[in-house]
Amino acid sequence: MIWRAFASEWVKMRRRRLWYGSYGAITGVIVLTTIVTIAGALHHANARGDLTLAQLGHASGLSQGLTQSGVLLGAVSFSIAAFQFGGEFAHGTLRNLLVRQPRRTALMVGKCLAVLTFLIGAVVAATMVAICAAFVMAHLRGISTDAWTSGVGMTDLGTLLGDLTISACGFAIIGMIAGVLLRSSVIAIAAGLAVLLPVETILTDAIPGTARWLPAQLLEAIAQGGSSAAPFTAALATVSAYLVGAVLIALFVFVRQDVTA
């Protein structure tokens, strides 16, 4: 049953405009942060500890630009997922789906898996394009890329890709939950982005220590492989607990609610 829902969702997600829009946005975000990071690297270290060209020449240099894309990538992932779920309520298509597949849990899980595979594909493809852009930028700025292609460099890149994917999937799951609970893609995207970006940022700045507890801050930390405020393992554990709880609530609501749209 989950497979049917998965295959059904992929019929929708194969449409060209969704690919251009989603893959374009995600690729744009990752490539842009990569280019800006390399273009802005300093020749000499400064007091603030900003990134230098020498640092970019290390094995982890290739990953430096990609790590900065976590929040923007999350915002795009959140929006895509909220659109896919909230849109079913807003357009009234959910009733058609539920008549053909009354097992609501299977429907939601199948759709969720389809959206996540779509996003994982987008992140991987975007990362490939960003790597190409990084090599071009390195050439332009005279950065040696020998260390990037070493074993350590590749491992570093693989780890970063995994972290980015986990972070994007976390944002996407929050987007799906928002779509189900708010029953509208527009409201889910607007409210969700408002809470995840400015509200969380203000809270983090205003109340020390909150970065360890706020979901978007934790997902950003995961994308960066952990931060001083939220180490990777702690961030992953906390976010996982949040997501499991939220998914269970969303499933409960989705299974029980009357479909009047």
- Binding region for another protein (CB under 8 A): 4-5, 7-9, 11-12, 15, 17-18, 91-93, 95-103, 107, 256, 258-260
Q: Structure tokens of 176?
A: 């799906």
Residue placing its CB nearer to another protein in the complex, 242 or 254: 254
Q: How far is the CB of 173 from another protein (least distance, A)?
A: 22
Report which residue type is found at 60: S
95/141 with CB nearer another protein:
95
Question: Any idea which residue has 């989950």 for tokens?
Answer: 2
The residue among 79, 30, 83 whose CA lies nearest residue 197 is 79
Judged by beta carbon, residue 55 or residue 101, the one nearer another protein is: 101
Amino acid at 72: L
- What is the rounded CA–CA span in Å between residue 145 and residue 151? 13
- Rounded Cα distance, 132 and 113, in Å: 29
Q: What is the largest CA-CA distance in the chain?
A: 64
Structure tokens at 129: 């394009």
Of 17 and 44, nearer to another protein (C-beta) is 17
CA distance 85 to 100: 17
Minimum distance from residue 16 beta carbon to another protein (Å): 9
In the bound complex, what is the minimum distance in angstroms from residue 168's beta carbon to another protein? 24
Nearer residue to another protein within complex by CB, 146 or 258:
258
**What's the min distance (Å) between Cβ of 260 and another protein?**
7
Q: Which is nearer to another protein, 58 or 104 (CB)?
A: 104
Q: What is the rounded CA–CA span in Å between residue 67 and residue 38?
A: 12
Question: Residue 208: how many CB atoms within 10 A of its CB?
Answer: 8
In angstroms, give the least distance from the CB of 107 to another protein.
8
Q: How far is the CB of 19 from another protein (least distance, A)?
A: 12
- Its sign, for the CA torsion 95, 96, 101, 105, is negative
